[in-house]
Amino acid sequence: MERFHRNERIAVLLKTMCDSPGETFTLGNFAEMFGSAKSTISEDIDIVQNLLEKFDLGFIESLPGSAGGVRFVPGFSKNKTRTILEALCQDLSNSQRILPGGYLYMLDIIYDPRKISEIGYIFAGHFYKREIDCVITVETKGIPLAFSTAKYLGVPLVIARHNSEATDGPSVNINYVSGSSKKIQTMVLPMRALKRQSRLLFIDDFMKGGGTARGIIELAREFECEVAGIGVVIETLEPSKKLVEDYVSLLTLNIVNEEERIIDVKPGKDWI
């Protein structure tokens, strides 16, 4: 068998594990791949771990036992996360983003692959300990955010729609009340979309009253599933009382003053 130099093994180890976050690899897998001893692979993984920590890219988690091994866990340190969020705040504070009615233009951020990748990395690092089975969101603007998070958690993405489609098959429909407008809205999910007893992570771009998050919780109950986490990019300061309590927001929007052209947005309380 061809012999591999250490730098070659480390490059492949880093690529393999980072491409499959959350997936467990045994030392035997890598030993067979490289034709090396497990002790050698263990030393290589220690080097990979040091590199990840040095450049603040996550860490390697060791899992004990006969079925154990190692897996890559994505995530930034709190300091790096805050730096990313402060840059987002500066970007979002541009008065040119103010739309009629006091709305905030965010589509360029939501559809920017680099920024969305960073946001997904932050969410994945924060929620990975909650043993998430699936990321769920509601069409449409939350999809890129949820997809990025699901990728870094190594789990599937499920999208709840506002209307059923013939290609979905049998579906579950629920009505929920918007937390801000108090309007009744509909949420639809195909019956085959979720496995019973799954632990879900709800990801969305914006939260005002929390009605959509509450709707997702109610929809999950219809599937005998649990919403184990809620993550949003921006929450509004008002109303201070949301319809859900256990959630994480990256940013807090304090005010959008259309007349004075002022936007006040700060990193969320979890990152201060």
Same domain? 101 vs 130: yes
Rounded (5°) CA angle 61-51-1: 80
Same domain? 59 vs 131: no
Q: Tell me what the mean pLDDT of segment 231-257 comes to.
A: 94
Note the pTM of the prediction, 2 decimals.
Answer: 0.92
Confidence of residue 67 (pLDDT cuts 50, 70, 90): low
Same domain? 85 vs 147: yes
Same domain? 94 vs 213: yes
pLDDT at 1 over 90: no
Same domain? 38 vs 136: no
Rounded (5°) CA angle 228-232-236: 125
Same domain? 11 vs 141: no
80-125 pLDDT, tens per residue? 999 999 999 999 999 999 999 888 999 999 999 999 999 999 999 9
3 state SS of 57:
coil
Residue 179's pLDDT is what? 62
Same domain? 82 vs 63: no
Same domain? 85 vs 68: no
Instruction: Look over the chain and give the mean of its residue pLDDT values, rounded to a whole number.
Output: 93
180-206 pLDDT, tens per residue? 667 898 999 999 999 999 999 999 999
143-156 pLDDT, tens per residue? 999 999 999 999 99
**CATH number of the CATH domain containing 13:** 1.10.10.10
Same domain? 215 vs 88: yes
Q: How far apart are the first and last CA of the chain?
A: 53
- The answer to whether 232 and 205 are in contact (CB under 8 A) is yes
Structural domain range at position 53: 6-73
- The answer to whether 173 and 218 are in contact (CB under 8 A) is no
Last residue of a domain, one of 73, 95, 129: 73
Last residue of a domain, one of 25, 49, 73: 73
Last residue of a domain, one of 17, 52, 73: 73
227-243 pLDDT, tens per residue? 999 999 999 999 889 99
